[in-house]
Amino acid sequence: MEDLMAARLQMAVSLGFHIIFACIGMTMPILMAFSEWKWLRTNKQVYLDIAKAWAKGVAIFFAVGAVSGTVLSFELGLLFPGFMEHAGAIIGMPFSWEGTAFFVEAIALGVFLYGWNKLNKWVHWTSGIVVGISGVMSGIFVVSANAWMNSPAGFTWENGKASNIDPVAAMFNDAWFSQALHMTLAAFVATAFAVAGVHAFLLLKNRNIQFHQAAVKMALSFGAVAALLQPVSGDYAAKDIAERQPAKLAAMEALYKTSKPADLVIGGIPNNKEERVDYAIHLPGFLGFLAHGDFDAEVIGLDQFPEDERPPVLIPHIAFQVMVGLGMILALAGLLFFAFRIWGKHVFQKKWWLTFIAILTPMGFIAVEAGWVVTEVGRQPWIIYGVMKTKDAVSTMPGLQYSFYTILFLYVMLSVILVWIMRRQIAGITTHYPSAVNPD
């Protein structure tokens, strides 16, 4: 395996692994604090039980997130030292803020987990809120650093070196807002639907458990709101990319030739040789509408870029279809959730509904992974868009594939163990929490 490919795969595996725990770390604390808040307001035992059970999950996932995040901060240099040598000084700021947010998050989580019976109830609750807010903040900071790679700003590039560095302008680059918004919502959608799905699955086994009913309801409320907002933020992001990174948009949409009007290509398999998409559905003019708000607008295709500056098409296109497709299904689920809340609460007890929610468990996370594939592969061959190519940044150490195999093995092993442990944690709910036992 080529060193460049090995380094990219190792980064992909490390990021793909970490992102799951990062999403959980952004969302779960808010859910657990919400449940505690409901307990403080209503004094119902079930909400306290749920908050405690979720907090245990947070503790386990946060630990994995903390170590896999530490790995990433080193890997940037281990795999792409050429990138860090120039970019480090420019994007150091969001990374230091991320470190600070992580520190606050870790301390507040320690207070939350070990302060149940030692603190004033509202102080305890506040610590949970602090965990959630700092989790979301650290996510936003890291995404802002990534956005800089897509939309470099805050420096002048001359003779292969950066000068006139302005870290604030770099952090608040043109892409940061659309990416941070899209990612934060994605974290909420993915985690909330996963939580709801697991509890729905447990309800399918035993319908009458108050604990799981309340948990599904709380998680879905968050997930539904986020899932309905996500298409709006996605549309905003797409229009943004059309302006800034037309090559990425062209790869996502598999648009080989600049077109006016431009078809929206749904599904299909991009055929690089013939420069067309086989077996796809074409919606005339819709791509122009999505990208520029006008059915007659011209959309730039890959033909506008020299061959050595074109991103791969197959992977971003398929990943994009997966992301959008799953996002739509989740938004539909959110819509149904609100509709049934108003017109038919009895549906929430129905087997088909619980099965539907249970099936959605992994979908948000698959969409998150697919979205990262779109944004990362779609930026290739650049590591800093328009400034530095990935192949020029990769480490000079030979044999990077062994590094990749090791990390791959480690993370696959950890994932298996985690699933195994979480199953046991879930099975243990009934013994720890009275509200999780069937009253009959």
Partner 1 sequence: MLTLIILVLAISFILYAILGGADFGAGIVELFAGSKGEKTISKSIAPVWEANHVWLILAIVILFTGFPKIYSTISTTLHIPLMIVLIGIVLRGTSFTFRHYDDPHVGAHKYYSVFFKVSSFVTPFFLGVILGAMILGRISPGAPENFYAGFIAPWFNAFCFMMGLFTTSLFGYIASVFLIGEAQYHVEQQRYGKLAKIFLLATMVIGFLVFVVAEWQGHHLFAEFIASVPSVIAMSMVLLVCPLIFYLFTHPIIIYLRVAVATQVTLIMLGWFSIQFPIVLYSDTGHHLTFYNTQAP
Nearest alpha-carbon partner for 7 in 403, 409, 411, 406: 403
What angle (nearest 5°) sits at the alpha carbon of residue 302, between those of residues 298 and 306?
Answer: 125
Give the nearer residue to partner 1 in terms of CB position, either 102 or 382: 102
The CB-of-19 to partner 1 minimum distance in angstroms stands at: 16
* Cβ atoms 223, 360 nearer than 8 A: no
The CB-of-104 to partner 1 minimum distance in angstroms stands at: 9
Helices (H) and strands (E) in the chain, counts: 15, 8
Give the nearer residue to partner 1 in terms of CB position, either 132 or 364: 132
d(CA 193, CA 361): 6
Give the nearer residue to partner 1 in terms of CB position, either 92 or 325: 92
Give the nearer residue to partner 1 in terms of CB position, either 229 or 414: 414
Nearest alpha-carbon partner for 310 in 280, 270, 282: 270
Token representation of residue 357:
């929610």
The CB-of-344 to partner 1 minimum distance in angstroms stands at: 39
275 strand-pairing partners: none
Longest dimension (CA), the chain: 76
The CB-of-60 to partner 1 minimum distance in angstroms stands at: 5
CA 160 to chain centre: 33
The CB-of-401 to partner 1 minimum distance in angstroms stands at: 13
Give the nearer residue to partner 1 in terms of CB position, either 96 or 208: 96
Contacts with partner 1 by CB under 8 A lie at 56, 59-60, 62-64, 66-68, 70-71, 73-78, 81-82, 84-86, 88-89, 92-93, 95-96, 99-100, 102-103, 106-107, 109-110, 113-114, 161-163, 165, 395-399, 403, 406-407, 410, 414, 417, 421, 424-425, 428
The CB-of-426 to partner 1 minimum distance in angstroms stands at: 12
Give the nearer residue to partner 1 in terms of CB position, either 375 or 395: 395
Give the nearer residue to partner 1 in terms of CB position, either 280 or 394: 394
**Please, what's the b/e burial string for 211-243 (b: 16 or more CB within 10 A of its CB; e: otherwise)?**
bbbbbbebbbbbbbbbbbbbeebbeebbbbbbe
The CB-of-174 to partner 1 minimum distance in angstroms stands at: 22
Exposure on the CB side of residue 348, measured as CA atoms within 13 A: 24
